[in-house]
Amino acid sequence: MAGGVIPPVVDADWLAAHRDDVVLADVRWYLDGRSGRAAYGAGHLPGAVFVDLDRCLTGDAGPGTGRHPLPDPARFARGMAQLGIGDDDTVVAYDDAGGTVAARLVWMLRATGRRAALLDGGLAAWDGPLETVPCTRPAAMFSAVPWPEERLATAEDAADPGNVVVDARQRERYLGREEPIDPRAGHIPGARSLPAGDSLDETGRLRPVDELRERFAAAGIDPSASVVAYCGSGVTACHDLLVMEHVGLGAGRLYPGSWSQWSADEARPAATEDEAPVQR
């Protein structure tokens, strides 16, 4: 598969046909504090390595950066290399949440020019036996590549009415009805609600492409839109961005600090009402 192109999302049939050509990555993580590593140890796809979101996919957290800022490129490179993921590997990542967490790794890899995809349906899409013994791979060569500026957005970009800004959190958090972890409730004024989980059907797989395009169109997203996606800390927003790419709506930009950074600054406003439909 060296040099080939991989779509942002693949299904279980694709994985079965290419199993020997990819590195499987288990990226389970839970907002409620449960251990992703423990879940991996209880049963994971055969040959999958465990990718610790907090250790490998996150930089130093703080009010000025958010809960899951992007790591320094050298830190990301070290984490991947130690897991045995190299520059030339093709990675298929999964979780048990429809890809809404594993999307973070896939987005990071694709943004820096690597081949990576989400497994549609995640763990539940696999109909074979699971393994409980941790998988280890020999250390690999993974280059430190700067995060491309054209794929990133700032708080100022998220406040710019010229951008279509979408919030990937559940609507209850978007509307400020609950806030389990961040300093304040609500959303960035002008942002539209586009919960990552709503792109999934009842089985945890992505909805049909036509339905997904209609959903994005309702949020004001078309191929010409300048899109900024955020969530609580820049994790599930990656799912919105990958699904956009999956349905042919372009790449969009990630606001890594997301609501955890925005809400930590009392000078920034917070909205709690649904935004009017975007007119384009």
Domains of the chain (ranges, CATH numbers): 9-125 (3.40.250.10), 149-262 (3.40.250.10)
Q: How far apart are CA 40 and CA 95, in angstroms?
A: 9
21, two tokens: 């050509």
Distance CA 260, CA 182 (A): 5
pLDDT of residue 276: 60
Among 56, 135, 231, 238, which one carries the catalytic annotation?
231
Handedness of CA 156, 162, 278, 151 (dihedral sign): negative
Asked if 238 is an active-site residue, the reply is no
Residue with tokens 């961040």: 182
pLDDT given for residue 277 in this prediction: 55
SS3 state of residue 46: coil
Cα(213)–Cα(223) distance, rounded to whole angstroms?
A: 10
Given a cut of 80, whether residue 60 has pLDDT beyond it is yes
With a cut of 50, say whether residue 174 has pLDDT above it: yes
pLDDT tens by residue, 229-265: 999 999 999 999 999 999 999 999 999 999 999 999 9
Give the C-alpha separation, 199 to 97, whole Å: 12
Q: How confident is the model at residue 275 (pLDDT cuts 50, 70, 90)?
A: confident
pLDDT above 90 covers a percentage of the chain that reads 95
- Per-residue pLDDT of 107-137, as tens digits, reads 999 999 999 999 999 999 999 999 999 999 9
Residue 2 pLDDT exceeds 80: no
Mean model confidence pLDDT for the chain: 95
Q: 106 and 38 in contact (C-beta within 8 Å)? A: no
